[in-house]
Amino acid sequence: MSTPDDYDKMTPDERDAFDKAERAREAAEQATLPYKWKQELGEVSITVSVPKGTRAKNLDIVMQKRKLRVAIKGQEPIMEGELCKDIKVEDSTWGLEDQEFINIHLEKVNKQQWWENVLTHHPKIDTTKIVPENSKLSDLDGETRGMVEKMMFYFDTSLLKQLGKPTSDELKKLESKSVKLRPYQESCLQACLGAFEEGTRRIGVSLPTGSGKTTVFVSLINRLPPRGKATRALVIVNSVELARQAANQVSTMFPQLSVEIEQGTKYHASGSADITVATYQTLLQPPRIAKFDPGYLKAIVVDEAHHSAAPSYVE
């Protein structure tokens, strides 16, 4: 293995070749792991594949400050050992997606350190080569995001009005009208709206994986008329990854709607956004769910609703 001194003595072409070889070696090592993972400065996301049809009640998941265990009950652990760094157990979550993938979210204690690996006995990555992703508006807390959006749109709103051209808000409204649903999505949507018109207040929608359930429920929320002061919607999911995906989908499809995330210590919603996406684990905390007054909600959407009969959801 080359030392830093050796690397400094290399020519540019030699360094490129060395870096390429190191990346290939690292990728090969990571590919042997029984899971996939990625990280941001504040969190680690892990995806573990399990046999299709696996039920959450059959899983053995243990998350401690410096330990992680993932197993199917009665079988050898899929992964188990000491974590690279400490985690905030109370803000770390897991969920089962499509009875096939375990999505694990680990909230870091030290949000200024990159992890070299998930478990200390697993191959390491070169953290000096990590290039952090640019921050997105959806990653900001509600208050900060509101301030940034106002700063972003103040200039073009005031200037464009003087020029007699459409402002950002007007352009956003026009953009939202261009959302096109697939025929089966539109049929599903119309069936839901028809049920609501007939007085049904609780409905269930079942669509196969990859058919765009998020697109359907986001479109449904947008088309549901307000009922008095009930103009907002709350979407409940079981992982931070799904929360971000849903929030991004709302922003993409209907940018005129305000959307916030309520999850862990990183995401604190104001409770007054048009749509709030929250993890049910976070809503188990009384101070967190208290900000969502049912009187202001025109809809509550539960993603992966087959979990909703579980005691934690009912609570």
Does the pLDDT value for residue 46 go beyond 90? yes
> Mean pLDDT over all residues of the chain?
81
Cβ contacts of 158-164, under 8 Å, gap ≥ 24: none
Angle between helices 213-223 and 240-253 (to 10 degrees): 50
Quick one: tokens of 306?
A: 């087959």
Give the model's pLDDT for residue 314. 54
What are 253-275's pLDDT values in tens digits? 888 889 999 998 888 999 999 99
Please count the CA atoms within 13 angstroms of the CA of 144 that sit on its side-chain side.
11
pTM: 0.49
What are 96-146's pLDDT values in tens digits? 888 899 999 999 999 878 999 999 999 999 888 775 554 444 544 555 455
Give the model's pLDDT for residue 9. 82
Give the model's pLDDT for residue 294. 92
Tell me the mean pLDDT in the region 39-54.
91
Does the pLDDT value for residue 289 go beyond 60? yes
Give the model's pLDDT for residue 142. 54
Query: 312 or 121: which carries more pLDDT confidence?
Result: 121
Confidence of residue 23 (pLDDT cuts 50, 70, 90): confident
Distance (Å, whole) CA 276 – CA 257 = 10
List residues bridging with 98 in a β-sheet: none
SS3 call for 130: coil
Confidence of residue 166 (pLDDT cuts 50, 70, 90): very low
Contact between 235 and 217 under an 8 Å Cβ cutoff? The reply is yes
- DSSP for residue 238: S
- Domains located in the chain, CATH noted: 33-129 (2.60.40.790), 137-314 (3.40.50.300)
